[in-house]
Amino acid sequence: FQIGLIAFTAAVFGGIGNLVGAMLGGVLIGLIEALASFIPDAYASDAPTLFGLPLGLPHGGAAWHEAIIFAILILILVFRPSGLLGQQAPEKV
């Protein structure tokens, strides 16, 4: 299930029906996952703080990579359903 979710999100992110877009989506998803692993654990004793509030996510960003991918999928479907490189289809009335 996890690999399918990542592949589907990459295809939607880049643009369904566009091979270059799907490849771009896969690369961007991989970069986002890699960068998410650098988000600190908010409950760690050495967690960075801002005005006394801990910065980061519970258990660190690596534990949240599936939720981050799913959030990307939802945002792309809401704001740009054709993907980054997908063609805008004319609306038929």
The model carries a pTM of: 0.69
Q: What is the mean pLDDT of each run of 10 residues along the chain (93 residues)?
A: 80 82 86 81 72 72 78 86 74 73
* 3-class secondary structure, 41: strand
Residues pairing with 53 in the sheet: 50
**CA atoms lying within 13 Å on the CB side of residue 90:** 2
Check residue 80 and give its pLDDT. Answer: 83
Question: Residue 15 to residues 21, 60, 69, 74: CA-CA distances in angstroms?
Answer: 5, 30, 16, 14
Check residue 88 and give its pLDDT. Answer: 66
